[in-house]
Amino acid sequence: MPRKFIQRYMPNPASLREHPVLRPLGNLLHDPGIWHLHKRSVSGACFIGCFCAFLPIPFQMIPAALLAIASRCNLPIAVALVWISNPLTIGPLFYFAYRLGAWLLNTEPTIHAVELNVEWLTIQLHHIWKPLLLGSITCGWVAGVSASVLSRLLWRFHVIRRWKARRAKRKSAS
């Protein structure tokens, strides 16, 4: 991964530590491991962010941030990747997860029409929670592993390309 490209869009750790909302976290944000950009921290953050994006809970950024801090993965990348499930994509993602969970449990899906309101969700929740939870965890795991492997492959590809460019530059200079 191009480190300078990623760093251009990453927030400054010092400014985040001083942010009023994040100030209660105190020393947790002082760990330099959650701000470094290296292959392990980025691939772990990709896994955490994509996995937490499929969790059927509100405020998915909180578990993503806590997992990133606990595993010393890159915090900004983990939190940013949670936004795969944003207000525009959350409906189709969770409907697919529900259908996948129903298929894995070998049950017939009971929901065919979805209404986007809290009342409908609270009424239907006791029918859909098992397939939704299983489908969400399965989708999150597959997305997380795929993102982690892809980030490692892209990182490796970038490193090899830079090695070859340096070797070519040295050969042309001599």
Task: Give the Cα separation of 133 and 59 in Å (integer).
Answer: 16
26-85 pLDDT, tens digit per residue, is: 667 777 778 888 889 999 999 999 999 999 988 899 899 999 999 999 988 999 999 999
Task: Give the Cα separation of 110 and 24 in Å (integer).
Answer: 44
What band does 6 get if pLDDT is binned at 50, 70 and 90? low
Task: Give the Cα separation of 49 and 80 in Å (integer).
Answer: 7
How confident is the prediction for the chain on average, in pLDDT? 85
Task: Give the Cα separation of 113 and 126 in Å (integer).
Answer: 16
Question: What is the distance between the terminal CA atoms of the chain, rounded to a whole angstrom?
Answer: 29
Domains of the chain: which residue ranges? 3-95+143-173
Asked if 104 contacts 134 with a C-beta cutoff of 8 angstroms, the reply is yes
